[in-house]
Amino acid sequence: MSNQSIQTVSTSSDKLKITLAIVAAVAGIISFYVLVGQPKYVRLGALVGGVVVAAILILISQLGRDLVAFAKESVREAKKVVWPTRKEAGQMTAVVFGFVFIMAIFLFTTDKVLEYLIMNVILGLK
């Protein structure tokens, strides 16, 4: 992963693009609800159109280019991960289930011992 510091939107053109993207997305959502009497494909077209315009505006800004670069770098890093084999995954799953079973028995036993001590020895209710 890169060690780049977090940067805010600095140029006025990027601020304008992001503002217009927000406006386009909100306009698409509002138009979906305003066009109640229209057919569904018109309503969905307005919604998708607003979201697509917003996505395009974001992607042409510096923030969008940085986001795309980050996504590409993330995919490249994910390809470097050494994934466990099917056998190793099965073994790890068995270990987890075994541990959970042992902890369940321990907690059940602890609960019953404390219940006996509190109810019978301390309170004398049973």
What residues does each domain of the chain span?
Answer: 12-79, 84-126
pTM, two decimals, is 0.53
58/17 Cα distance (integer angstroms): 7
* Mean pLDDT in residue range 39-54: 93
Residues 50-99 pLDDT 10s = 999 999 999 999 888 998 999 999 999 999 999 899 999 999 999 999 99
